């Protein structure tokens, strides 16, 4: 016997209440743990800087008495959000499951897991590659002229901003492009035609989301965007591969094809010119041979006529 509408609504209310309570509990645990172990958390977040933020053993500084406490509270709030987010996602998927077909629920669950994995990949890229490389360039550029003294709030703001924009926005590009192709909102052919605008758009967007105007950080943001756009194109093509060929549409393949065509045409034209010269040389040799044969024949003929005349006269 299927449950009535009242029972379904009551169960949904229970799930919603449990999700809210568990999310609040997870947020409280995450915020409290982050505040309690804030020295270890700050040490982990400062690890990519590799003791380059100031002359004071490489540690960042703060300029007002309340700055350190405010930074700790802000970090605790974000730690609570980090712990509560998976609980909230699982609770939302649990509430959704009774009201949608199983296939759609699996679809939503799968893409939620892929999106979280892409966020983790983007955050890892920021933490282990982008921040160390950009700081190594920026903070050692004026070595011997000035010493960097970076505020703790500025560093954490930069790090958390990049973690959000790169992990939650940039690295979601392949997922979004594949979904648009799957629902036939933006086909692979349409996305492919936008490829010529990707490079300037990536650099403009990277310049907007990075807090500074240095080219190193902008390049480190724009480069994964270009790569992820190609990954999204490949994902869109794999969704509906009929009628198109992603690998043949690659600019490198097209340039290579054009280069091969140019080389082939150059070789063919060179071979044609060489063949024409050889043919002309052979024709000239044949004409010279024929002319020599004719001259030799005429000489023999005249010699024979003189011999006959001499014989008639003296014979």
Residue-level pLDDT at 101: 82
Say yes or no to pLDDT of 151 above 70.
Answer: yes
pLDDT digits (tens, 9 = 90+) for 64-82: 888 888 888 998 999 999 8
When mean pLDDT is compared over 87-91, 262-266, 296-300, the highest value belongs to 87-91
The residue among 247, 272, 292 that closes a domain is 247
- 271 and 312 both lie in a single domain: yes
Alpha carbon distance 24, 18 (integer Å)? 10
Q: From 175, 84, 158, select the one nearest 121 (Cα to Cα).
A: 175
- 280 and 179 both lie in a single domain: no
Q: Domain residues for 266?
A: 250-315
Mean pLDDT of 162-182: 87
Q: From 101, 125, 90, 157, select the one nearest 221 (Cα to Cα).
A: 125
Mean pLDDT of 132-145: 77
Residue-level pLDDT at 32: 93
The residue among 226, 247, 268 that closes a domain is 247
Say yes or no to pLDDT of 8 above 80.
Answer: no
- 197 and 261 both lie in a single domain: no
pLDDT digits (tens, 9 = 90+) for 11-51: 777 888 888 898 899 999 999 999 999 889 988 888 888 77
- 186 and 285 both lie in a single domain: no
- 259 and 236 both lie in a single domain: no
Three-state SS string over the chain comes to CCCCHHHHHHHHHHHHHHHHHHHHHHHHHHHHHHHHCHHHHHHHHHHHHCCCCCCCCCCCECCCCCHHHHHHHHHHHHHHHHHHHHHHHHHHHHHHHHHCCHHHHHHHHHHHHHHHHHHHHHHHHHHHHHHHHHHHHHHHCCCCCCCCCCEHHHHHHHHHHHHHHHHHCHHHHHHHHHHHHHCCCCCHHHHHHCHHHHHHHHHHHHHHHCCCCCHHHHHHHHHHHHHHHHHHHHHHHHHCCCCCCCCCCCHHHHHHHHHHHHHHHHHHHHHHHHHHHHHHHHHHHHHHHHHHHHHHHHHHHHHHHHHHHHHHHHC
Residue-level pLDDT at 33: 92
- 14 and 58 both lie in a single domain: yes
- 160 and 11 both lie in a single domain: yes
- 206 and 296 both lie in a single domain: no
Residue-level pLDDT at 94: 82
Alpha carbon distance 10, 4 (integer Å)? 10
Alpha carbon distance 59, 148 (integer Å)? 11
Among 58-67, 128-137, 209-218, the minimum mean pLDDT is found in 209-218
- 143 and 289 both lie in a single domain: no
Contact 30, 81 (CB under 8 A): yes
pTM of the model as a whole: 0.71
Contact 11, 98 (CB under 8 A): yes
The domain total for the chain is 2
Q: At 10, list the tokens.
A: 């009551």
- 214 and 240 both lie in a single domain: yes
């Amino acid at each position: 016997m299927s449950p009535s509408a009242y029972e379904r609504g009551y169960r949904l209310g229970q799930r919603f209440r449990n999700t809210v309570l568990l999310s609040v509990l997870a947020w409280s645990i995450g915020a409290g743990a982050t505040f309690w172990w804030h020295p270890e958390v700050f040490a982990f977040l400062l690890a990519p800087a590799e003791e380059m933020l100031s002359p004071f053993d490489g540690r960042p500084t703060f300029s007002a008495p309340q700055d350190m406490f405010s930074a700790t509270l802000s970090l605790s709030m974000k730690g609570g959000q980090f712990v509560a987010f998976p609980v909230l996602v699982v609770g939302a998927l649990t509430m959704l499951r009774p009201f949608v077909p199983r296939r759609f629920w699996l679809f939503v669950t799968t893409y939620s897991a892929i999106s979280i994995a892409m966020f983790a990949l983007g955050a890892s890229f920021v933490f282990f590659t982008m921040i160390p490389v950009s700081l190594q360039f920026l903070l050692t550029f004026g070595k011997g002229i000035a010493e960097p003294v970076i505020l703790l709030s500025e560093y954490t703001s930069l790090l958390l901003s990049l973690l959000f924009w790169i992990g939650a926005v940039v690295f979601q590009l392949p997922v979004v492009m594949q979904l648009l192709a799957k629902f036939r909102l933006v086909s692979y052919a349409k996305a492919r035609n936008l490829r010529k605008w990707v490079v300037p758009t990536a650099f403009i967007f990277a310049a907007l989301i990075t807090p500074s105007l240095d080219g190193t950080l902008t390049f480190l943001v724009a480069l994964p965007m270009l790569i992820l756009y190609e990954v999204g194109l490949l994902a869109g093509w794999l969704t509906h591969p009929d009628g198109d060929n992603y690998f043949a549409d690659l600019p490198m393949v097209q340039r290579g094809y054009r280069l091969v065509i140019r080389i082939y045409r150059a070789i063919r034209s060179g071979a044609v010119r060489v063949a024409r010269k050889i043919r002309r040389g052979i024709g000239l040799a044949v004409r010279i041979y024929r002319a020599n044969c004719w001259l030799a024949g005429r000489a023999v003929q005249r010699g024979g006529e003189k011999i006959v005349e001499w014989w008639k006269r003296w014979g």
